[in-house]
Amino acid sequence: MPEMTYLRAISDGLRTEMRNDERVLLMGEDIGVYGGAFKVTDGFIEEFGADRVMDTPLAESGIVGTAVGAAVVGLRPVCEMQFADFVSCGFDQIINVAGKMLYRQGLPVNITVRLPSGGGFSGGPFHSQNPEAWFMHSPGLKVVAPSTAEDAKGLIIASIRDPNPVIYMEHKNLYRRVKGEVPEGTYETPFRARVAREGDDLVVITYGAMVHTALEATADLDGASIMVLDLRALVPLDEEAILNAVHHCSKVVVVDEANYTCAAGAQVSALIAERAFEDLDGPILRVASPDVPIPFSPPLEAAVLPSVERVREACRQLLEY
Amino acid sequence: MPQMGVSVAEGTVVEWRKQRGDWVEADETICEISTDKIDTEVPSPASGRLVEVLVQVGVTVDVGTTLARISTDARPGEPHSSENHGPPAPAHAAAAAAPASPATPPSAPDPAQAPAARAAGGRASRRYSPVVQRIADEHGVDLDEVEGSGRDGRVQKKDVMAHVQARGGGGGRAQPVDEPTMHIESPYRPGAGASLGGPYVPPEGRPLSRMRQQIGEHMKRSQDTAATCTTWIEVDVSRVEIARRQLGITALPLIARCTIGALVEYPLLNAWLEGETHTVHEQVNLGIAVALGEDGLIVPVVRGAQDLAPEGLSRRIRDLARRARARQLSPDDVRGATFTITNPGQFGSMMATPVIAQPQVAILDVEAIIKRPVVVTDAFGEDAIATRPMVILGLSWDHRALDGALAARFLANIKKRVESYEA
């Protein structure tokens, strides 16, 4: 299996599925001639032409709205938001049009919206957010967030094939930092959680970039045996895997890079409190960014985002409880 | 014990998936049962805690018997009724001690009551996490005896687990450990040659499987009940063969479709006879016999079959057969058939005398489609011999409910529909 970066794995998934399926087309700002702000679609316009790799105006509402129409007539558009933060300009089309179309009119909206998200590189408040929870709250959408190169490819293919609108969270800080072996050809990663590391004493439940933070924080923690559960999909949430992990370990730390209030981890915590109360051997601890904008200043940003040290401290505190 | 079919009166518990004290969700499987129609899982009717198992594995009880009790006002984490005979909860101990020092400020305790108050206070300060309480309850552990390794001596899950393990040898409620056998018998067995010339020793008999017993009981009862006669008719299936290739399905759903049409026209065949009660059905619930290899067979039901086109019938039959073989049929899938089709012809057999599934009044047997030379009459009235795919349809019918003339007309109606089939 070839080794590639998380970013190349996304490109590979898109390219594979575009070769497989003529209905797949890409839309976004500067994704064609320029190859995308992060070069995910570099070389695509040469291979697939401007009809299938469409440079659009700076209008997220127009991108998503056009994609919804294309999906209704049978195409499978993939929209790139240049940064996840800009998706708010296309919010109405995603929430009220794409998410409700099947319920209102019985028409499936097979679109994928790619959201380059997350911080860690001094991008500041408009280029560092993790807005996945906005979409979890709104019925009719699926939300996935790969953490590895292999899953990045498998989840983009599965998202394109899923008949529902799928919000695909790709973490910018993993783009070139994370590498891994990626199977060739086409495969789908299921929308189910993955045990990133087995363990017995405590489980860290997280997704996306924080999977790597959690693995590093708990690789050697006073000899404790710590499980790391990578959710992979936030909607549908793999409740069975979460409850099994809690049943096995009885102590839980939930980590989000997103802001604390109503983050994906809040839903995970609520699920555990409701359904796994009898398995708990201590309070559910959460580590997340405080409810503030992400700062430009590197030392301030480092203080805001959940660090290896903060995750380690939460685990230690709970292990001793 | 849920009702698993019209004629089913009892069922046997095969396995409990949930034990006393377990939390169950509504529709989660609580146990597995076996009846003379079907082996199936019983979904929990409500969410709650399983507080009592009333029917043990292997016991057969009548339909309607309560299998277990679920406490629906329980909450996950709440102690369940079996905890009543455990040590009193700390809150009770504190409450019992309280009246001993009414309105007395803590700074001036009655010396005589001090030890009791201290003891009560000591226990009240020990709070246990939900998982620790659950494990303690499951293993009958008095948590006062457990050393805590957590913050301020808090008892953690690992502490109570270690306590349970350490106590394992000391008896109490612990399970006895199986002793490994000291002598293991040699697996070597002399081959057949060694017994040459010896007397023939027949292999040991085994009890018939449950499914075989049930099928046997049902078939024998039918033969003892119905006045079974069988009538055959030979049918040219050329048009059905063309249609099935166009649709990419087997001939069975097409012949079934013709049979359903005939049933609607002759509703007396789409009927039940129970004692002296004769029920004629408007809706066709078509039973299709599905072989389960050597184990036996089961007859899932296509409900409302009169409303289905051949493709729909094909899809439903395929789905039911797949689930039957995966042992995933629900009770509703096997009850309420008003007429049954059995189709063993895939192995090349030509004729059979099927046994009627009670309380239905007839069953249609579809045998192998075989090419045969037949006499056909052309447009000019000239007879010629042609090769045609032919099938023999056999109808077993209950002479108590109808007579041979009706059976023959019914078969002729199916024949007419099959031979004039328009895709």
The Cα–Cα gap between A171 and A210 comes to 10
Query: Which residue is closest to A317 within chain B, CA to CA?
Result: B151
Residue B77 has its nearest CB partner, among A277, A281, A320, at A277
Interface of A with B in 245-274 (CB under 8 A): 250, 274
Cβ–Cβ contact A320 with B under 8 A: yes
Residues of B in contact with A281 (CB under 8 A): 129-132, 156-157
Residues of B in contact with A280 (CB under 8 A): 129-131
**Residue B261 in contact with residue B269, Cβ under 8 Å?**
no
Give the 3-state secondary structure of residue B203: coil
Residues 6+ apart with CB under 8 A from A299: none
The Cα–Cα gap between A231 and A207 comes to 5
Strands laid side by side in the A226-230 sheet: A194-197, A226-230, A202-206, A252-259, A285-289
Query: Which residue is closest to A201 within chain B, CA to CA?
Result: B158
pLDDT for B335: 87
| B92 given a catalytic annotation | no
The Cα–Cα gap between B50 and A159 comes to 40
Residue A281 has its nearest CB partner, among B76, B77, B131, at B131
Beta strands in B171-220 (DSSP E): none
Kind of pairing between the strands at A142-144 and A166-171: parallel
Q: What is the DSSP string of A200-220?
A: SSEEEEE-TTHHHHHHHHHTT
pLDDT for B62: 87
Alpha-carbon separation of residue A131 from A87, A191, B33 (angstroms): 9, 19, 48
Residues of A in contact with B131 (CB under 8 A): 250, 278-281
pLDDT for B125: 54
Kind of pairing between the strands at A166-171 and A112-117: parallel
The Cα–Cα gap between B161 and B165 comes to 6
Alpha-carbon separation of residue A32 from A20, A44, A50, B247 (angstroms): 20, 7, 7, 45
Distance to chain A for B86, nearest Cα, Å = 18
Contact A250 B157 (CB under 8 A): yes
Residues 6+ apart with CB under 8 A from B315: none
Cβ–Cβ contact A317 with B under 8 A: no
Catalytic site residue from A127, A137, A171, A212? A127
**Residue B395 in contact with residue B402, Cβ under 8 Å?**
no
- Tokens for B32, please give them: 């597995």
Residue B130 has its nearest CB partner, among A201, A278, A321, at A278
* CATH T-level fold of B223-419: Chloramphenicol Acetyltransferase (3.30.559)
Q: What is the ipTM of this complex?
A: 0.72
**One-letter amino acid of B6:** V
Q: Which residues partner with A55 through β-bridges?
A: A28
Distance to chain B for A282, nearest Cα, Å = 6
Contact A321 B132 (CB under 8 A): no
Distance to chain B for A102, nearest Cα, Å = 25
- Domain B121-166 maps to which CATH number in 3.40.640.10, 3.30.230.80, 3.10.20.600, 4.10.320.10? 4.10.320.10
Give the 3-state secondary structure of residue B165: helix
Residues of B in contact with A277 (CB under 8 A): 75-77, 130
**Residue A109 in contact with residue A68, Cβ under 8 Å?**
yes
Q: H or E segment at A172? A: none
- Tokens for B111, please give them: 């010396």
Catalytic site residue from B27, B142, B319, B403? B403
Distance to chain B for A283, nearest Cα, Å = 9
Cβ–Cβ contact A239 with B under 8 A: no
Distance to chain B for A120, nearest Cα, Å = 35
Contact A321 B151 (CB under 8 A): yes
Q: Which residues of B252-279 are buried (b: 16+ CB within 10 A; e: fewer)?
A: bbbbbbbbbbbbeebebbbbbbeeeeee
The Cα–Cα gap between A161 and A155 comes to 10
pLDDT per position as a tens digit, A43-81: 999 999 999 999 999 999 999 999 999 999 999 999 999
Q: H or E segment at A228? A: strand A226-230
- Tokens for B55, please give them: 């029917």
From the number of C-beta atoms within 10 Å of its C-beta (0-12, 13-18, 19+), residue A27 rates as buried
From the number of C-beta atoms within 10 Å of its C-beta (0-12, 13-18, 19+), residue B345 rates as buried
Among A37-46, A225-234, A299-308, B141-150, whose mean pLDDT is lowest? B141-150
pLDDT for B83: 44
Residue A280 has its nearest CB partner, among B23, B131, B154, at B131
For an interface test with A, the pick among B157, B159, B160, B161 (most A C-beta atoms closer than 10 Å) comes out as B157
Contact B134 A277 (CB under 8 A): no
**CB-hemisphere CA count at 13 Å for A107?**
15
Cα dihedral angle (A139, A142, A147, A148), rounded to 10 degrees? 170
pLDDT per position as a tens digit, B75-96: 665 554 444 444 434 444 333 3
- pLDDT tens string, chain B, 423 residues long: the values are 887 766 678 888 988 988 888 888 888 889 988 887 778 888 888 888 888 888 988 888 888 888 998 888 776 655 544 444 444 344 443 333 334 344 444 444 444 444 443 344 344 457 899 999 989 988 888 898 898 888 888 899 999 999 988 887 444 444 444 554 555 556 566 555 555 566 788 888 888 888 888 889 999 999 999 999 999 999 999 999 999 888 888 899 999 999 999 999 999 999 999 988 999 999 999 999 988 877 888 899 999 999 999 889 999 999 998 888 888 888 888 889 999 999 887 778 889 999 999 999 999 999 999 999 999 888 888 999 999 999 999 999 999 999 999 999 999 999 999 999 986
pLDDT for B96: 38
Query: Which residue is closest to B158 within chain A, CA to CA?
Result: A201
Contact A276 B76 (CB under 8 A): yes
Q: H or E segment at A175? A: none
Residues of A in contact with B160 (CB under 8 A): none
Contacts by A211-214, CB closer than 8 A, 24 or more apart: A211/A147, A211/A148, A212/A147, A212/A174, A212/A178, A213/A255, A213/A306, A213/A307, A213/A308, A213/A311, A214/A255, A214/A311
Contacts by B170-178, CB closer than 8 A, 24 or more apart: B172/B140, B173/B139, B173/B140, B174/B139
From the number of C-beta atoms within 10 Å of its C-beta (0-12, 13-18, 19+), residue B103 rates as exposed
Residues of B in contact with A317 (CB under 8 A): none
**Residue A270 in contact with residue A242, Cβ under 8 Å?**
no
Q: For chain B, give every domain's residue range.
A: 10-71, 121-166, 223-419
pLDDT per position as a tens digit, B131-150: 999 899 888 888 988 988 88
- Tokens for A213, please give them: 């933070």
Distance to chain A for B151, nearest Cα, Å = 5
Alpha-carbon separation of residue A313 from A58, A199, A214, A280, A304 (angstroms): 43, 18, 11, 19, 15
Residues of A in contact with B154 (CB under 8 A): 321
Q: What is the DSSP string of B290-327?
A: EE-TTS-EE--EETTGGG--HHHHHHHHHHHHHHHHTT
Contact B150 A321 (CB under 8 A): yes
pLDDT for B193: 54
The Cα–Cα gap between A86 and B373 comes to 76
For an interface test with B, the pick among A252, A278, A316 (most B C-beta atoms closer than 10 Å) comes out as A278
Residues of B in contact with A320 (CB under 8 A): 150-151
Residues of A in contact with B77 (CB under 8 A): 277-278
pLDDT for A11: 98
Interface of A with B in 67-126 (CB under 8 A): none
Interface of B with A in 317-376 (CB under 8 A): none
CB contacts < 8 A (A, B): 38
* CATH T-level fold of B10-71: OB fold (Dihydrolipoamide Acetyltransferase, E2P) (2.40.50)
Residue owning tokens 């709440």: B78
Q: H or E segment at B157? A: helix B157-167
Beta strands in A58-200 (DSSP E): 76-80, 112-117, 142-144, 166-171, 179-181, 194-197
pLDDT for B226: 93
Contact A278 B156 (CB under 8 A): no
From the number of C-beta atoms within 10 Å of its C-beta (0-12, 13-18, 19+), residue B385 rates as exposed
Residues 6+ apart with CB under 8 A from A46: none
pLDDT at A306 over 80: yes
**Residue B321 in contact with residue B299, Cβ under 8 Å?**
no
The Cα–Cα gap between B117 and B72 comes to 37
Contact A320 B23 (CB under 8 A): no
pLDDT per position as a tens digit, A130-184: 999 999 999 999 999 999 999 999 999 999 999 999 999 999 999 999 999 999 9
**Residue B11 in contact with residue B61, Cβ under 8 Å?**
yes
Residues of B in contact with A248 (CB under 8 A): none
- Tokens for B211, please give them: 């499914």
**Residue A255 in contact with residue A309, Cβ under 8 Å?**
no
Cβ–Cβ contact A51 with B under 8 A: no
Cβ–Cβ contact A201 with B under 8 A: yes
The Cα–Cα gap between B34 and B32 comes to 7
Distance to chain B for A253, nearest Cα, Å = 16
Cβ–Cβ contact B153 with A under 8 A: no
Q: What is the pTM of this model?
A: 0.53
pLDDT for B7: 67
Cβ–Cβ contact A299 with B under 8 A: no
Query: Which residue is closest to A247 within chain B, CA to CA?
Result: B131
Alpha-carbon separation of residue A122 from A119, A296, A302, A304, B102 (angstroms): 7, 5, 9, 12, 64
> Which domains are delineated in chain A?
3-181 (3.40.50.970), 194-320 (3.40.50.920)
Residues of A in contact with B150 (CB under 8 A): 320-321
Residues 6+ apart with CB under 8 A from A22: none
Contact A278 B77 (CB under 8 A): yes
